[in-house]
């Protein structure tokens, strides 16, 4: 029997999911990639479903770029409606950011060229129209570095999404009408449980505030989707990725879900979180990792030496639903896993230990803030409206900054629902949880728990309007969006 080295195993190309995203060697530097916004058919729970998608010229979902390759892409709209695609986490010129307020929409049949130097790491791309993102118009965007290619390990992409057999428009109508049928609220927490949520959160709260929150319940899931997908599949028929026995995997996890936060669960195996939203962090070891909509986590996993299969599960917060993939060496027994856990999974927002523990490998240079602003997040389920600074989109007052300034924004969430806040055109560092200062991870999307404060710092970039919004599509659609207005 021939035994392959790890490098030999990887070269054999046995992982089907990874093969979809492997870079094409020898690609001419001048040739543009082609990306098509289209419809496609997937199978969910034994039923055929027509969804949207972003595919390359070979019909494969997503794009993967070689080290040093430019993001040179011709985007074609193969839909019957207008669209616009945002390159989430990348920092293109503002004119190529892919948002409706600053960039023209792409008409049916139209093709538009994009060309910029991409940031290496784990990213994704999606429509910036809420109904289209709910309809799965999204895909991975992987930009590899030279260091990635030199590593002796296998890459696996895990792309998560929530799915409904109803049309995206019906989903939005039910959610925004306040009768989405979701789990709604987590049970009210006792004072001791609040203390267990981590010093980073409670450090900014008085005992009175904590007592009031303990008497209330957090809002969690405001819509029960029909299925939760991992690489377009459910646990009834999961993707089985061929891996090397005892090998090492770099899991590139992307939460492309429109409204759902998860715990990534490795079961008995301890993984190492090594990058957040595309930027390297000092390794953080755990068996479960929180991931909010819009966020990405790179997790290194040393596979079991006994050759057993390893399920990688995504557990829906505050509910029993779960999805995932299975990493399986040749000859491993593939476990059959139910799509429902025996018990409900805890809310993601009740654990800030992960965010508090993370440290960027290359943090922002230390300098005092030139501008520090409080950004109030508000709203509620009845009526279903969500605000920034007490205002809805269209009534918003842009947040001012000057190019080159060090800016600190403190998100003060006065609602009972968490908000994954995403800033376009910038990388920021998490520098505060509650009243506690930290030198945290670099991100472009940060989860702000209910009744809490999170502070971010960044250096203002190109003089232009940059979107700042919640990445929960129900919240975005009902007004939780504003702009960072950077002037020269």
C-alpha–C-alpha distance, residues 15 and 291, integer Å: 24
Residue 393 has pLDDT above 80, yes or no: yes
CB–CB of 394/433 below 8 Å? no
Query: What's the average model confidence in pLDDT over 382-408?
Result: 93
> 464-484, pLDDT tens digit by residue?
999 999 999 999 999 999 999
For residues 475 and 456, is the Cβ–Cβ distance under 8 A? no
Best CA proximity match to 22, nearest among 58, 75, 70: 58
- In sequence order, which residues have a C-beta less than 8 Å from that of residue 426 and are 6 or more positions away? 91, 444, 458, 459, 460, 461, 466, 484
What average pLDDT does range 98-112 have in this prediction?
A: 95
Strands (DSSP E) contained in 258-380 are 262-265, 271-276, 279-286, 288-291, 296-302, 310-316, 322-328, 371-380
Residue 446 has pLDDT above 50, yes or no: yes
8 A C-beta contact, residue 347 and residue 318: yes
Select the more confidently predicted residue: 83 or 395: 83
- The pair phi, psi for residue 380, each rounded to 5°, is -170, 180
Residue 210: band (very low, low, confident or very high) from pLDDT cuts 50, 70, 90? very low
Point out the least confidently predicted range of 25-34, 78-87, 253-262, 387-396. 25-34
- Quick check: 4 pLDDT over 60? no
- Residues 6 or more apart in contact with residue 377 via CB below 8 angstroms: 386, 387, 388, 411, 412, 413, 414, 415, 419, 421, 448, 470, 480
Question: Mind listing the domains of the chain with CATH numbers?
Answer: 6-144 (2.60.40.420), 371-487 (2.60.40.420)
Within 10 A of 463 (CB to CB), how many other CB atoms are there? 14
Banded pLDDT at 178 (limits 50, 70, 90): low
Q: Token pair for residue 370?
A: 């030139």
Q: Which residues of 111-131 are buried (b: 16+ CB within 10 A; e: fewer)?
A: ebebebebbbbbbbbbbbbbb
Within 5-145, where are the H helices? Answer: 6-11, 16-21, 130-134
Helices (H), 300-344: none
In DSSP terms, 453 is beta-bridged to: 412
pLDDT at position 51 is 98
Q: How far apart are the first and last CA of the chain?
A: 66
- Evaluate if residue 164 carries a pLDDT over 60: yes
Residue 338: is the preceding peptide bond cis (ω within 30°)? Answer: no
For the chain, the average pLDDT equals 88
The Cα-based distances of 476 to 114, 259, 287, 384 in angstroms read 26, 10, 32, 11
**What are the backbone dihedrals phi and psi of residue 455, each rounded to the nearest 5 degrees, phi first?**
-110, 135
Kindly indicate the confidence band of residue 350, based on its pLDDT and cuts at 50, 70 and 90.
Answer: low
pLDDT at 195 over 50: no
| Cβ-proximal residues to 283 (8 Å cutoff; 6+ apart), any chain | 272, 273, 274, 300
Q: How far apart are CA 88 and CA 90, in angstroms?
A: 6
d(CA 107, CA 80) in angstroms, rounded, equals: 8
CB 82 within 8 A of CB 131: no
**Which pLDDT belongs to residue 180?**
47
């Amino acid at each position: 029997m021939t035994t392959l080295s790890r490098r030999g195993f990887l070269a054999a190309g046995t992982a089907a999911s990874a093969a979809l995203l492997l870079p094409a060697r020898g690609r001419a530097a001048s040739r543009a990639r082609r990306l098509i916004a289209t419809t496609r058919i997937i199978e969910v729970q034994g039923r055929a479903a027509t969804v949207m998608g972003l595919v390359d010229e070979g019909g494969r979902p997503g794009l993967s770029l070689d080290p040093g390759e430019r993001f040179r892409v011709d985007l074609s709209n193969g839909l019957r409606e207008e669209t616009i695609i945002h390159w989430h986490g990348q920092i293109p010129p503002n004119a190529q950011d892919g948002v409706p307020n600053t960039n023209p929409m792409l008409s049916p049949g139209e093709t538009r060229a994009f060309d910029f130097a991409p940031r290496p790491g784990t990213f994704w791309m999606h429509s910036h129209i809420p109904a289209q993102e709910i309809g799965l118009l999204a895909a991975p965007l992987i930009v590899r570095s030279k260091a990635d290619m030199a590593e002796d390990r296998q890459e696996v992409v895990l792309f998560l999404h929530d799915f409904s057999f109803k049309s995206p428009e019906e989903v939005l109508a039910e959610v925004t009408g306040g009768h989405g049928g979701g789990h709604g609220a987590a049970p009210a927490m006792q004072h001791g449980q609040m203390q267990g949520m981590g010093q980073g959160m409670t450090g900014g709260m008085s005992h009175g505030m904590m007592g009031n929150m303990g008497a209330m319940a957090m809002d969690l899931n405001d819509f029960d989707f029909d299925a939760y997908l991992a690489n377009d599949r459910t646990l009834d028929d999961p993707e089985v990725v061929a891996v090397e026995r005892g090998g090492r995997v770099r899991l590139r996890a992307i939460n492309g879900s429109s409204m759902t936060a998860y715990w990534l669960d490795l079961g008995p195996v301890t993984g190492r979180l090594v990058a957040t939203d595309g930027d390297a962090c000092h390794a953080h070891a755990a068996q479960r990792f929180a991931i909010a909509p819009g966020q990405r986590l790179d997790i290194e996993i040393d596979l079991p030496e006994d050759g057993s299969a390893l399920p990688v599960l995504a557990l829906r917060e505050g509910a029993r639903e779960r999805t995932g993939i299975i990493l399986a060496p040749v000859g491993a027994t593939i476990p059959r896993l139910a799509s429902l856990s025996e018990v409900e999974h805890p809310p993601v927002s009740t654990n800030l230990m992960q965010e508090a523990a993370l440290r960027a490998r290359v943090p922002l240079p230390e300098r005092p803030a030139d501008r520090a602003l409080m950004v109030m997040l508000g709203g509620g389920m009845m009526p279903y409206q969500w605000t920034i600074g007490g205002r809805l989109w269209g009534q918003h007052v842009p947040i001012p900054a000057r190019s080159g300034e060090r800016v600190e924004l403190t998100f003060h969430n006065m609602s009972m629902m968490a908000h994954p806040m995403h800033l376009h055109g910038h990388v920021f560092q998490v520098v505060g949880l509650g009243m506690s200062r930290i030198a945290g991870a670099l991100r472009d999307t940060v989860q702000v728990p209910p009744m809490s404060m999170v502070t971010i710092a960044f250096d203002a970039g190109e003089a232009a309007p940059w979107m700042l919004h919640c990445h929960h599509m129900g919240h975005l659609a009902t007004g939780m969006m504003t702009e960072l207005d950077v002037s020269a």
